[in-house]
Amino acid sequence: MSARLKQSTLARSLAVVVAGAVVLLIATESLSSYHNLQLSYGAYYFTVLAGLTVLIGLNGQISLGHGGLMAVGAYTVALLVGNEGWALVPALVAAVVTSSLTGVLVGTAATRLRGPYLAGVTLAFAVGLPSLADKYPATFGGDQGLTINPPVPPSWLGSSFPLERWEAWIACAGALVALFVLQNLVRSGVGRSLRAVRDDEIAASLCGLRVARVQTLAFVVSAACAGLGGGMLAAVEQLAAPGAFTLQLSLSLLTGVVLGGLGSLTGAIWGAAVLVLLPGWSNDIAHSFSLSGNVSANLPLGIYGVVLIGSMLLWPSGIQGGVRALGGRLLPRLAPNRPSPAKPPQGGQT
């Protein structure tokens, strides 16, 4: 039975999701309000990063514009919940739809582009899209953006149910859904076609894969995740404003994906943790020494820069790569009777 379990991706990912849900449920009960809030941030970051790591790591297309796709999701939720009075879950679904459609547009344009040219277009997208809010201030609230009311916990949870815990539940639920879908996608035929296109486009098209379609699909999947993440951001932070979706956001998403470990969903968890926790830690470090104003204000940024450079020089595969390497060294010691992975055939065959 357990062998069957190991084989079936669906069952395995379901088990992971259920286990994750249980752990998160317990965690949200014991965490303080502020930490629950941080958990929400981590959850929506994870959702975006997971999609982005599939796009960059598994499909080999770079995107510097996922902040713009998050903005699409966030504004969709803000408009539907704030102006039209929709409930949150349908609004999140709508956010996934609108961002997926945007993803189709961007992805189709992207199929013709490679490398830095794709980077340039996605960067222009990240910079240009939020300015629509300034162009149509009546609909999008202009520079101030839109505010929505906080999502109210349903009455059957009790009247004193903390808002932050409810927000954490929403965000974690969204993240688990994304995790479930992506885990299955990555292990399926679709995932294999993504990787095939990344590794060798010519060979993939010779095998019958429609390269442009696969690339667009990868973009759509990552856009859907970004839209969901953006929608959850709107729900948790109760805002959608152009100032929240800067180029810096798109670039931090990229750095989060690579720091965590490119191509790995667990890497996306690490990346989300870094994005949420590092600013706070570096701020605390900066203020624990009594430095002059300029130095302590800029030190967190400096630390971030050093972390990025350092991790690329020292652990190019990111945190997950480091964890795997550690695991690879520990596992033979912990389980010496386990058969080691098959060695590649010597000589001759390739």
Partner 1 sequence: MRTPFRLVAVVAVIGVLGPIVAGCGSSSNKGSSSGPQPGVTATSITFGTHTALTGPAAPGYSEIAPASAAYFKYVNAHGGVYGRKIKLLIKDDAYNPTNTVNVVHQLVLQSKVFGIFEGLGTPTHTKVVQYLNAEKVPDLFVASGCPCWDKGSSQPFTFGWLPNYTLEGKILGAYIAKHFKGEKVGVLYQDDDFGQGGLAGIKDRVPAKDIVSTQPYQVGTTTLAPQITAIKSAGAKVLVDFTVPIYTAIGQLTSFTLGYKPQLVISNVGNDPTTVGALLKAVSKGKASGTGLIEGAITDYYLPSNTDNSNPWIKLFRRIHDKYDAKAPFDTNVLYGMSSAYTLVQALEAAGKNLTRQGLIDVVNSQGATWQGPGLVPFRYSASDHGGYSGVRIAMIKGGKIVESGKPLTTDPSASGPITVATSTQAAPPASGIPGP
Partner 2 sequence: MTKFIDLTLNGVSTGAVYAAVALALVLIWRGTRIVNFAQGGMLMITTFVASDVINSSGSYVLGFLVALGCGLVLGAIVERILIRPVESAPPVNAVIVTLGLLILLQAIAGMIWGNSPRGFPAAFSIRGYKVGGTRLLFAPNDTFIVVLVLGVALALALLFRRTDVGLRMRAAAFEPEVARLLGVRVGRTLTLGWALAAVVGSLAGVLVAPSVFVGPNNFDPILIFGFTAAVLGGLDSPLGAVIGGVSLGLALSYVSGYAGSSLVTLAALVILVAVLMVRPNGLFSIAQGRRV
Quote the strand ranges of the chain, DSSP E: 146-147, 239-240
Q: Angle of helix 66-77 relative to helix 88-110, nearest 10 degrees?
A: 150
Q: In whole angstroms, give the CA distance from residue 101 to residue 315.
A: 36
Minimum separation from the CB atom of position 301 to partner 2 (A): 4
Residues binding partner 2: what is the number (CB under 8 A)? Answer: 49
Assess contact for 228 and 73: CB atoms under 8 A.
Answer: yes
Minimum separation from the CB atom of position 107 to partner 2 (A): 13
Q: Name residues contacting partner 2, limited to 176-205 (CB under 8 A).
A: 202, 205
The one-letter amino acid code at 319 reads I
- Residue placing its CB nearer to partner 1 in the complex, 119 or 150: 150
| 3-class DSSP state of 342 | coil
Residues in touch with partner 1 (CB under 8 A) = 6, 12, 15-16, 19-20, 23-24, 26-27, 30-35, 37-38, 41, 131, 134, 142-145, 147, 149-150, 162, 164, 233, 237-239, 241, 243-244, 246, 248-249, 265-266, 269-270, 273, 280, 283, 292-294, 297-298, 300-301, 323, 327, 331, 338, 341
Best CA proximity match to 50, nearest among 184, 193, 167: 184
Partner interacting with residue 243 (select from partner 2, partner 1, none; CB below 5-8 Å by kind): partner 1
Minimum separation from the CB atom of position 72 to partner 1 (A): 16
- Residue placing its CB nearer to partner 2 in the complex, 117 or 281: 117
Partner interacting with residue 322 (select from partner 2, partner 1, none; CB below 5-8 Å by kind): none
For position 323 contacting partner 2 by CB under 8 A, the verdict is no
- Residue placing its CB nearer to partner 1 in the complex, 149 or 288: 149
CA distances from 311 to 20, 45, 325 (A): 28, 20, 15
- Residue placing its CB nearer to partner 1 in the complex, 111 or 238: 238
Best CA proximity match to 230, nearest among 141, 103, 118: 103
For position 243 contacting partner 2 by CB under 8 A, the verdict is no
Q: In whole angstroms, give the CA distance from residue 95 to residue 107.
A: 17
What string marks each residue from 96 to 125 as x (binds partner 2 by CB under 8 A) or -?
A: -------------x--xxxxxx-xxx-xxx
Minimum separation from the CB atom of position 251 to partner 2 (A): 6
Chain-centroid distance of CA 243 in Å reads 20
DSSP annotation string for 36-63: HHHHHHHHHHHHHHHHHHIIIIIT----
Q: In whole angstroms, give the CA distance from residue 309 to residue 294.
A: 22
Best CA proximity match to 59, nearest among 172, 197, 230: 197
- Residue placing its CB nearer to partner 1 in the complex, 61 or 255: 255
Contact positions vs partner 2 (CB under 8 A): 56, 62, 109, 112-117, 119-121, 123-125, 127-129, 131-132, 134-135, 202, 205-206, 247, 251, 254-255, 258-259, 262, 294-295, 297-299, 301-302, 304-309, 311-313, 316
